[in-house]
Structure formats: C-alpha cells, structure tokens
Amino acid sequence: MPEITLKDISLKDYGLSERISHLKKIYFRAVPEICTERAHLVTRFHLENGLFEADRISILDKAKAYRYVLRHRNPVVSHAQGVDREMKQFTFTDRQLFAGSTTTKFKGVPLYPEFLSLTLWPELQTIAKRKSNPFHITPSEASVLNFEVFPHWMEHTIMELGRKKSFAMNPPSAVKKEAPEIKLLQRMVFFLASKPECISHTIPDFSKAMKIGLRGIIEEATHLGNHAQDPSRQEFYEAVREVLEGMIEYSRNLSTQAEKLAEKEPDQVRKRELIKMAAITARVPEFPAQTFREGLTTVWICWTAIHLENPNIGLSLGRLDQLLYDLYRNDVESGAMSIEEAIELLCCLWLKIGDHVPAVPEASEQLFGGTGSNQAITLGGVDADGGDAVNDLTYVMLRATELMKLRDPNLNARYFSGVNSKDYLRRLCEVNLNTGATPALHNDLAVIRTLRSKGDAIEHARDYGVVGCVEPGSNGRSYAHTAAILYNLVSPLELTLFNGRHRHTGLDLCIGTETGDPETFTTFDQFKAAFERQIRWMVDRSVCLNNLYGEIHQEFYPTPILSSLFEGPLLKGRDLTRGGATINSSGATIIGLADVADSLSAIEKHVFNDKAITFAQLIEALKKDFVGFEPLNALLRNPDKTPKYGNENRAADHNAAWITRVLDQAFNEKLNYRGGRYRVGYWTMTNHAGFGRLMGALPNGRKAGENLASGITPVSGATPYLTKALNSVAGLPVSCLSSGVALNLKYSPENGPEMLDNFAATVEGYFDDNGGQRDGGMEIQFNIVTHDTLVEAALHPERHPELLVRVSGYTAYFKDLNPQMQKEIIDRTEYLLSTGRMVTFAPYAIPERRQS
C-alpha cells in the first residue's frame, strides 16, 4: 500500500500555471479542423501496393502501411495556428511540453476512410457552416478527399465489405442481396452495430513500453518469431517489428524537428524546452522511461500511433496513476521534479489527449451529439492483491482534472469501501462539486464481483480500468469492444405488443417473430414469455451481424500496433482481431431499461392484476399517443398509482431485474468471432434521446418521441426520493451488468460543508452490499448544476462555452449537445442532497427555432 505523503490531498495551493492558462484559452478558442493526412497516406500506400485489389489484407501488409504513415507523417512539435468559431485562422505561440500530435491540426478531426468517413462526403463543402459542431476544412483539403481519397474506398469500407459478405447468408436463390440483419440495421430502430465505425474500445498495455521500451518488445518479437514454426505466427511477429520500428522512426523525426525549432528559437526559455523535448523523444518510447516526463511521453507517442490505426472512439488510457507512480515518486523524492511541475505536465498531457475529435456527420449528431473521443482514465481502487492502490499521483491527477475541466480525458475513479480511505472518497466528491461533472465513481466491490462472474481471474478483475464511457475491462488485456451492439430494448417490447410488427416499420409488415396477439394472453407470465422470445430474436440478429463485421475486420483490418501493446498477442502470436488478447468478450449496451421495466409493471398491474383496462384499450391508447386517453396517461405516469422502477417497489424492481437476467443470459450464450462471449451493459451515451425520438407511446405513459431514460437510471420525475432510487438500482444483480452501467444523477448545488458530507454518504450507501443482502451499485455519475442554469445555457450557449455535463457515460460540453439531448439533461430528476427529495420544475420545452 503506497504511503500518502501529501500534506493536503486537495492540493488547493496549486493552480493553473501561466503556460496552461495560455494553452487552455487557445484550446477553447479553436474549433476542430478536418485533417486529411492520415487518410491520404493510407490511401496512397494501398494504391501503390495493390491492396485495393487484394481479397484479404495480411497483418504484415497492414503493418507496412502503418509504418509508411508513421514515416511520412508530419512530425508536429509546435502548432502555430488554429481556427476560431467564425472559421477564421488565428496564430498563437505554442508552449506545449509534449511533442507529437494526433493530426497535423491543433484540434484535428482524423479521417478513417476504411470505416465511416465517407459519410462526410456530401457535407465536405458545407461542413464548416453546419449548425451543430462545424468542422473547418480548406477547399484544397476537400478536393483531396473528393478526388484522391474517398473514391478509392467506395468498395472497401467495412460497411460495404460486410454487405457483400452478407450475400452468402441468404439462400442461393437470393444471391446478391443483403442479409435481413443488414436491413434491420438500416431501419435504425432495432439495434446499431458499431463495427463499421470502429472496434477501438479498449485499454492498451503501456507497461511493457515503459519498462523495456519498444526496442525491448522488438527483441522479444524477434526471438519469438525465430522460434515460431507456424507461418502465420512468423508473419505476426514480423508485423509487430515493422510497426514498432515505425513508431521509433516517428519519435526520432519529432526529435529532429524539435532540434530544428530549438536552433531557430530566439526565446531562451522555450529553446531549452525544445532541446529537452528533442532529447526525450530521441530516447523514448524506444528505450525504457526513466523519468515521469519520459513515462508520459512514452504513453503519448504510443497513443498517437494507436490512433493512426484505430478510430478515435473509446480508446482508453487505463490506470495511469498506477502505471506512472514509481516514476513520479522517484522524481519527487529525488527533487528532480516538484508537484507543481507534475501538475503542469499532466495538464499539458490532458490538452494533448483532447487534441482530436471524432468525425461525426451532421445527422449522427442526433444520436451521438457532442461526443468527444471518450478517452477514459481510471484512478484509485485496489491493486492486484486487493490492497489500497490510491497514491499521491492519484491526487495529483485529480487536481489536474479539477483545474482543467475538460471533456477529454474522461476521468473515472474507483472506490473500494473499507480499503480506500474516506478522505479519498470525499476528495472524489469534492472534485465533482468543483467540476460539476467528473469523475464518475465506480464501486470496486461490485465491479470486481461482476467481472469474476464472467470468468475473469481475480488479479485481472482487480486490475480493471474503465473503457470509453463506463465499461470495466481488465487493463491492457481485455479486447472487449464494449460498444459492439447498441440494443434498443423498446423494440422487442414493441414487437411483443404488436405480434412481431413495429409501428416505425409499419404494422402491416411482420418484421420480428410472431409471438401471439397480446389480447389473447390471460396471464402476465404469458406476456413475459412472448417478450423474452422477441428479446432473444433481436439478440440473435444483432450478434449475427456483429460477428459478420468482426470477420471483415479479421480479413481486412488487423491491428498490429494495438496488438504490439497488449497482453496476449505476443504470447499467442496472434492479432487482437483473431483472439490474441487474454480476454476476448464483446459488449452489448441496452437502451431503454427503465421505460420498458415500467411498461411491464404497468401492464402487470393494470391489465392483469387489477384488470382496470384491457389490452385492446391499452393498444388503442398507444396507437393514438394517449390522445383521448388522458386519464389513462395520468394513471400510468403516476408513481403512486403505477409501480415504477427506482422507488423500492418490489414488483417494479423485480421486473427490471428480470429483464437484466434475460438479456444477460441471451447474450452470454453467444460466442463472438474471437471465441469470447457477449457481456451486457446499461449506458446509453445519447442514444436514449436518439432512439426516443423514433419510438411510439409506451405503456408506462411515455408519449411518442419523448426521450427514454438514460443508462440504468430510473425514468425522470418518477422517483421523488433519492435513497429509494439508489436502493432500487443497487438491488439489481451485478453479474448481469458486466459491461458497465451509467447511473446519472443530478444534484442542486448547495452551500456549506454539509453537501460534501451528504454527497459522500450517499455514495457509500449506494455502493454498500448490505452485508451480502444485495450486490450494491456499480457506478454513479453526476451533474451538479441547477435546472435554471441548464435552461439558461440552452438558450444562451455563448455564455457557457465550458459548461461540462455528464451525458450517459461520457462527458460533453453542454453547448455541443443537440436540443433533444439538452432537454433530457435539463429534465433529469434533480435532488437536493440536504433533504434527499426531488426538486420540482416544469418540463423544459425546446424553443421552436432549435428543434431539429
């Protein structure tokens, strides 16, 4: 257990340095700029080497392509210009302490034409003028993409390759036609499969790069390759050597560039900084890191290389406070580095980590609006032996986060009650109060329990880090693609209510499986059985499609860079896409749990138990969106008259738990294309708003088009008491939530130290397993902001450019969210911690001009 040597764990005497204030100001001034460099270089290599004609692409060919990109990419040491909101260029003096960048731009949008970048094609000439989250692009860059990049990929994107591969899933009479699963995907209301966009969601293993350097890994790969008999293994090791040499080359190029800049630099302070950057990038990541700064540089250079290969969505950095602690401690103890310098270095790195945003086409903003790259960092918790892992660096990283208040990195903190200190928990709550939205808190007891239930070794479960939004995965050894399937739970309910039909796709078309007319059901169990069949039908379809796209990744997009920096592939001699990792699960996340659970409860009570309404009446009301059925709607929405999940109502909570068990069982029965099993999570990003827009009225009283509840959170406004809400969620079986949950709570800011006390006490209470009587809550995240502030920010975004909020998993700047998503956050249940009661307010109405 590391000794905490800090006199004040809040480190409140340390503020933003002048350098960081300067860089942060530029950071918020700059809008994202599309960068064509990666896309252009990858395309050129594919053209020059005939890869567009290949019927598969070997890992060695892929490795050569990435080495080519690493060699030819611009080694950016300092940026000189950005673009502001008026799309005008501005110049600035860059005083960053880390060389290298994800793109050539100060804040760039990297493009991956292999994946979904072609969706931006229609927008290239107008993307700088779009209302939501515009990207700058020059006419020449648009021309490069239009003529030299995108045309070559029209037959080679994952989506298209998957479509063609799906022809074989049809009977021979229907050749050259997409499989029905693809048509379901295109309908949008059933599930989304994210492999055409990326796999990414995972945590690399940086420890080897830190300890033995990339040169050490190359030597290991050479040794293993020399002793491998299997040609595919030999090829794998050669690919590893190829990409690692490319990364070393890139770092050397950075070093050379830093030297050149230093020679010309008139400012002596900056000159010395550049000389130091040159020296560091000449050493690492090729050789072991010897100082804290070298350790951070190793992480950063490896991170940029990983992003060359893997789209910038959900790649996460893991437990950096554990990885870097020894280097930090040595430097501080030897006097080589002060705490102030450590905080400044971390702030510089945090800004670097946020130097890119994903390329999101305009309408996708409605499903994923305002998202950053969701690069999670995990702090605290326990070590492999179950001891307290919180160290001085944990607090230094918390302070850097508190000062910066950035969207990326997405900070997550682990807490093990009884092992980690109460002071640590209070500090986590305090940072939440001061940032309004971060870090998310994870309960080690429950998370380790759920990972163990899926077969993870105890030391691996204890070493979990958070991936993307909230998903737990063993640090550097779990290649889990936690967001492989986004499963809209409202659709199987819809298919049950309408006997295999869906209002969105038309009630004359049986698109699901027929499970009987619900008007003929005489018991609630009959209804549940039909619902379970529809759930399983959709699970089958979504898994089938995910596995199909997974095979495309294996055949065309192996990942030599990520495989080099991971536990498992080197030992097995196998790429990650082919099961090289130690843990090979896939993840599905469920959207709509609370609304569907409440719908089941409403049906159980009013149709079957009380017989207050018939199924025919309910269906009629749903079809008419409750118009003419206002009293019924009021009855269904009233938590005093209709059981609601989140109120410690036994029947309602039982229905929610039953759904999680059915989904866990249905998914866990399935094998993925890497031989692993599917795990289930409940975090929704902004999809509860996106899917909500598409879905009709529900038996819980929700009207058509209204937002669904987020993550695992009860329906907004249905749970007046905070403690009851927390107890209901904490009573769910965590073994069924193994791909993570997001419980989104909103607290009113209150004056006085009592708020912090109450805050910490509620977290403790929620995490508690009550002596084994329940599992305890897994995760909780907060927005600490008033309803009025959010309404004001929605109406006047220019006054709140840095307002940070938790969506359902990731953090976002409120101004970047689409109107539907803003409404969802504004209308979320808000509690006063001092009373534990819900604050009442009228639902927010989106102004007419802002609707989309």
Partner 1 sequence: MTLTKIMRNLQTELSGEITDKFLEALLYGMKMSFDMSGGYRLNIENFRGRYVFRSADGFVNAAADFDRGDMKVYDSVLEEWNVRVTFKDARALRKFLFSRDQDILNSLLANDVEVEGNLNYLYKFGYMARELLLRLGVM
C-alpha 842/C-alpha 456 separation (Å) is: 46
Count of residues making up the chain: 852
Query: 202, 481 in Cβ contact below 8 A?
Result: yes
Supply 210's token pair.
């830190």
- How many angstroms separate the CA atoms of 732 and 264, rounded? 62
CB nearer to partner 1: pick between 125 and 835: 125
Give me the least distance between CB of 102 and partner 1, in Å please.
Answer: 24
- Please report how close the Cβ of residue 486 comes to partner 1 at its closest, in angstroms: 14
Which lies closer to partner 1 via its Cβ, residue 146 or residue 638? Answer: 146
Rg (the chain; Cα; Å): 26
Q: How far is the CB of 208 from partner 1 (least distance, A)?
A: 39
Is the separation of the CB atoms in 794 and 844 below 8 Å? yes
| Residue among 717, 705, 732 at smallest CA distance from 852 | 705
Shorter beta-carbon distance to partner 1: residue 187 or 270: 187
In the bound state with partner 1, the residue whose beta carbon lies nearer, of 92 and 121, is 121
Q: Are 580 and 574 in contact (CB under 8 A)?
A: yes
DSSP 706: P
- Give the residue with the Cβ less far from partner 1, 366 or 672: 366
Considering beta carbons, is residue 362 or 653 the nearer one to partner 1? 362
Question: Shortest gap between Cβ of 51 and partner 1 (angstroms)?
Answer: 17
In this complex, which beta carbon is closest to partner 1, that of residue 164 or of residue 661?
164
Percentage helix, strand, coil for the chain under 3-state DSSP, each rounded to 5: 50, 10, 40
Q: How far is the CB of 742 from partner 1 (least distance, A)?
A: 23
CA dist list (Å): 740 to 594, 683, 729: 16, 7, 13
CB of 129: closest distance to partner 1 in angstroms?
A: 8
Closest distance between partner 1 and the C-beta of residue 189, in Å?
A: 8
- Residue written as tokens 């204030």? 21
Q: How far is the CB of 688 from partner 1 (least distance, A)?
A: 15
DSSP state of 409: S
Listing from the earlier edge strand, what are the strands of the sheet with 837-839? 376-380, 410-415, 440-443, 779-784, 744-747, 830-832, 837-839
Nearer to partner 1, 120 or 659 (CB): 120
* Least distance to partner 1, CB of residue 13, Å: 48
CB 680 → partner 1: shortest distance, Å?
Answer: 25
> Please, what is the minimum distance in Å from the beta carbon of residue 672 to partner 1?
25
Q: Which is nearer to partner 1, 256 or 852 (CB)?
A: 852
Distance CA 565, CA 245 (A): 13
- Minimum distance from CB of 373 to partner 1 (Å)? 20
In angstroms, rounded to a whole number, what is the distance separating the alpha carbons of residues 303 and 779? 27
Tokens 């031989």 belong to 675
Shortest distance in whole angstroms from residue 117 CB to partner 1 = 10
b or e along 643-658 (b: 16 or more beta carbons within 10 Å of the residue's beta carbon)?
bbbbbbbeebbbbbbb
Q: How far apart are CA 42 and CA 38, in angstroms?
A: 6
End-to-end CA distance of the chain: 53
List of residues 6+ apart from 848 with CB closer than 8 A: none
The CA angle 218-482-585, to the nearest 5 degrees, is 70
Q: Closest Cα partner for 375 from 409, 411, 423?
A: 409
Based on the number of CB atoms within 10 Å of its own CB, is 680 exposed (0-12), middle (13-18) or buried (19 or more)? buried
Q: How far is the CB of 188 from partner 1 (least distance, A)?
A: 5
Cβ-based nearer residue to partner 1, 407 or 541: 541
Tokens found for residue 334: 């030897």
Nearer to partner 1, 161 or 261 (CB): 161
Q: Which is nearer to partner 1, 107 or 163 (CB)?
A: 163
- For 147, counting Cβ atoms within 10 Å of its Cβ (0-12 exposed, 13-18 middle, 19+ buried), the class is exposed
Considering only CA atoms, which of 153, 77, 102, 487 is closest in space to residue 310? 102
CB of 150 to partner 1, least distance (A): 7
**Which lies closer to partner 1 via its Cβ, residue 1 or residue 47?**
47
CB neighbour list of residue 638: distance below 8 Å, 6 or more residues apart:
none
Residue ranges that bind partner 1, judged by CB under 8 A: 118-119, 121-126, 129-131, 146-147, 150-151, 153-155, 157, 159-160, 163, 178, 186-188, 361-364, 366, 504-505, 693-694, 852
Q: Which two tokens stand for residue 136?
A: 């700058």
Tell me the one-letter amino acid at 476.
G
Residue among 504 and 572 whose Cβ is closer to partner 1 = 504
Residue 196 or 550: the one with the smaller Cβ distance to partner 1 is 196
The structure tokens listed for 196 are: 């055409």
CA distance 820 to 740: 24
Give least dist CB 157 to partner 1, A: 6
Contacts of 657 (CB under 8 A, 6+ apart): 731, 732, 733, 736
Nearer to partner 1, 486 or 597 (CB): 486
Count other C-beta atoms under 10 Å from residue 268's C-beta: 8
Nearer to partner 1, 150 or 682 (CB): 150
Task: Write the single-letter amino acid at 109.
Answer: V
Minimum CB–partner distance for residue 186 and partner 1 (Å): 6
Hey, what are 827's tokens?
């209308």
